[in-house]
Amino acid sequence: MSSSGIGAEESDPKIQPRIYNGKSTANGIIGGFGVQIFYKTKLVCTGTLLTTRHLITAAHCFENMDQSEFHVVAGMTAEFNASSQSIRKNGMVEVRLHPAFKKKKFIADIAVVKTRFPLKGRSIGYAKLCQYPLYNVDTVTVAGWGTDGKSTEPGERNYLRTMRIPIVEHKDCEKKLERKMPPNVLCAGAYNHRTLCSGDSGGPLIWRGEVCGISTWTWKCGDNQKPDVFMSVRYYAKFIKSTIKEMGYN
């Protein structure tokens, strides 16, 4: 089965994050916890801020990449100008990928990140972890920075975009993807040509103000045939909480 992964997979990423057929949304509307993740000056992934020093995102964002070249920006709706030399970059002190991570099998595509400096401010919020299971009657919000499936002109900034899509039942997801899916995933989408697209990796799937999923895979931008795949935050809550505790808050 061919696929188009989402996220940073090259040593010098050329992709731009986007949600296909989404709408521009202020970061504060989703809770202010959306985080831009840069590799050097390229915005490559989206993350979700949980504390002043910790965020979660997709593990595959960091595959074969120099972790010292990553930095994060919080509290903004428009894409940050990462090429500015006068700005102090907020790098990553530690990036911990789940030890069971297997990208091609949709297993444990999750990472916990500790930032070098605290992320605080009136425009910054912190997400709560998902407490309840999701069902196919639920409609969720997915967020990421992008250009709505259109090409980005040089120098043009991306803006946070969201889309409202339905949860797809596990068995229906397996039928549509023509493969067995592990219990740690959530499937959503295949609706009204609204999908994830290149670079949306790690962005939050939100339900009732809580982060319930992490964007990990899409079949094809704007293609209704197959649902998008997310890591279940509820499934990995123990890993997230224990990792944050081990990393510490100072």
Number of structural domains, the chain? 2
- Same domain for 149 and 226, yes or no, is yes
Residue 55 lies in a domain: yes
Give per-residue pLDDT as tens, 161-194. 888 999 999 999 999 999 999 999 999 986 655 5
Whether the full predicted model's pTM is greater than 0.95, yes or no, is no
Residue 8 lies in a domain: no
66: domain range?
A: 32-126+236-247
Residue 7 lies in a domain: no
Percent of the chain with pLDDT over 90: 60
Residue 156 CB burial class (10 angstroms; 0-12, 13-18, ≥19)? exposed
Residue 66 lies in a domain: yes
Q: Please, which pLDDT band fits residue 5 given cuts at 50, 70 and 90?
A: very low
- Same domain for 40 and 109, yes or no, is yes
- Same domain for 160 and 137, yes or no, is yes
* Whole-angstrom distance, CA of residue 7 vs CA of residue 228: 14
- Same domain for 136 and 220, yes or no, is yes
- Same domain for 175 and 135, yes or no, is yes
- Same domain for 133 and 218, yes or no, is yes
Over 70: is that where the pLDDT of 9 sits? Answer: no
Q: List the helix and strand counts (H, then E) for the chain.
A: 2, 17
* Whole-angstrom distance, CA of residue 250 vs CA of residue 234: 26
Residue 106 lies in a domain: yes
- Same domain for 168 and 178, yes or no, is yes
Residue 118 lies in a domain: yes
Q: What is the mean pLDDT of residues 131-153?
A: 78
pLDDT for the residue numbered 157: 60
Give per-residue pLDDT as tens, 25-80. 788 888 899 999 999 988 889 999 999 999 999 999 999 899 999 999 999 988 88
- Same domain for 52 and 42, yes or no, is yes
- Same domain for 198 and 145, yes or no, is yes
Average per-residue pLDDT for the chain: 83
Residue 98 lies in a domain: yes
Q: When comparing pLDDT for 110 and 228, which is higher? A: 110
Count of CB atoms within 10 A of residue 119's CB?
A: 20
Residue 158 lies in a domain: yes
CATH number where 76 lies: 2.40.10.10
- Same domain for 242 and 120, yes or no, is yes
pLDDT for the residue numbered 15: 31
